[in-house]
Amino acid sequence: MQAIEFKEHLTQNLIPFWNRLKDTEYGGFYSYMSKDLEIDKTSEKGVILNNRILWFYSTAYRLLRDPSLLAMADHAFSFLINHCYDSQYGGVYWSVSHDGKPIDETKHTYNQAFAIYALSAYYEVSQNKAALHIAYALYRLIESKCRDTDGYLEAFHRDFTPTSNEKLSENGVMAERTMNTLLHVMEAYTELYRVDSFAMIGNSLREILDLFKDKIYNSQKQICEVFFDKDYHSLIDLESFGHDIETAWLLDRGCEVLADPTYSEAFAPITAGLAAATYHNAYDQTKHALYNERENDNIDTDKIWWVQAESVVGFYNAYQKAPDKKEYLQAACDIWDYIISHMIDERCGEWVESIRPDDTINLERGIVHAWKCPYHNGRMCMEMMQRLTNKA
């Protein structure tokens, strides 16, 4: 497993594929491609998808310095500020039409966080002050409209009056708080603090880390609980393997960027515990890939695309933290081999949605949709390029 492998996949597969999705007529990017690789140019455009694409091209430019990547980031930023951002009430919509008119005006904390994440990365490479201004406006909005004294809430109408959280609730529950939203608010604040280091963001990041330590992480099971009521009572016995391994390395990244020894020391056993539990509970030693989730006593053994991407980074990160844990290095290498041999669609270079237990491909939702973009697999490539290049 070498840095060049990830660079080649990024530059020869993922970037060329997503370049094809650029909408030169109405802006942004086409948001649906069928399993037959047919682009639906009239499908509604998910704002999360656009934000993640903005992050992808911005970060790819930071690493590769190819001007065409910055031009793609400029394109995504233009669509964000002209069509996805609500100038009246603030915040970004959930989705807009193919020609940029609001369709779903829901203001979800998760979505605001991804806008901050993307704008921070874009500001770093463009030095566009408007991007930083909007990122801080979204930060203030989250802190003033999307939380209470105990933490972060989820879904709101356009004017930020509360609504139910169908968008981030699954498995038959309706959650008032979720680990997933908190994780990505933390991720967004980490990126904003990394590029601008404003003390206020650092304080918010500390609060989120405290919530993970005190409310989200189950130290007995060494997992993150997933869905909660308003008082942080877990609503379901659910272990989301992909989220746990992703959380492990994102918590480490948050502590690294925060550069507060107190938090680094407190979270070392937590992130080690998440990696260990994920490895022992979810790593398929036969097929060398990660299972999806466990609900009660039932394990979903589907191999989901984004779960495999996060497990490569997560296990390699765990190995970097504990070089004696050679099994983590081996798992990262073997899962990358699994991705190469099973998950990359040879027709186009993008990844398939998932692999069923019988090894058949699941492409029912298409090769591109509102939740499937170059965030997880693109980030895996860029993380591994840097980690393998900088290794001792």
CA quadruple 188, 372, 69, 342: dihedral sign = positive
Whether 303 and 309 have beta carbons less than 8 Å apart is answered as: no
For 6, what's the count of Cα atoms within 13 Å in the CB-facing half-sphere?
25
Q: Answer left, alpha or beta for residue 171, where phi above 0 means left and psi between -120 and 50 means alpha.
A: left
Beta bridge partners of 162: 156
What number of helices (H) and strands (E) belong to the chain? 13, 19
* Token duo for residue 210: 């405290």
Coil, strand or helix at 107: strand
Whether 135 and 192 have beta carbons less than 8 Å apart is answered as: yes
Beta bridge partners of 33: 39, 368
Whether 389 and 321 have beta carbons less than 8 Å apart is answered as: no
Give the structural domain span for 331: 3-389
Q: Which of 373, 370, 377 is nearest to 108 (CA)?
A: 370
- DSSP conformation class of 44: P
The pLDDT, as a whole number, for residue 273 is 98
Whether 32 and 39 have beta carbons less than 8 Å apart is answered as: yes
Whether 12 and 349 have beta carbons less than 8 Å apart is answered as: yes
The pLDDT, as a whole number, for residue 197 is 87
Q: How many CB atoms lie within 10 A of CB 19?
A: 13
- How far apart, in whole angstroms, are the C-alpha atoms of residue 224 and residue 215? 9
Tell me the C-alpha to C-alpha distance, in Å, between residue 342 and each of 16, 119, 167, 347, 350.
Answer: 20, 33, 29, 13, 12
The pLDDT, as a whole number, for residue 391 is 58
Within the chain, which residues score under 70 in pLDDT? 391-392
- How far apart, in whole angstroms, are the C-alpha atoms of residue 225 and residue 91? 28
Whether 343 and 355 have beta carbons less than 8 Å apart is answered as: yes
Contacts of 85 (CB under 8 A, 6+ apart): 91, 92, 115, 134
The pLDDT, as a whole number, for residue 210 is 98
Tell me the C-alpha to C-alpha distance, in Å, between residue 74 and each of 12, 20, 44, 189, 302.
Answer: 21, 16, 21, 22, 37
Q: How many CB atoms lie within 10 A of CB 306?
A: 21
* Token duo for residue 291: 């299972």
CA R_g for the chain:
20
CATH number of domain containing 139: 1.50.10.10
The pLDDT, as a whole number, for residue 392 is 40
Whether 216 and 200 have beta carbons less than 8 Å apart is answered as: no
For the chain, the domain total comes to: 1
- How far apart, in whole angstroms, are the C-alpha atoms of residue 354 and residue 381? 19
Q: Tell me the backbone φ, ψ of residue 251, rounded to 5 degrees.
A: -65, -45
Place of tokens 């296990």: 315
- How far apart, in whole angstroms, are the C-alpha atoms of residue 352 and residue 343? 5
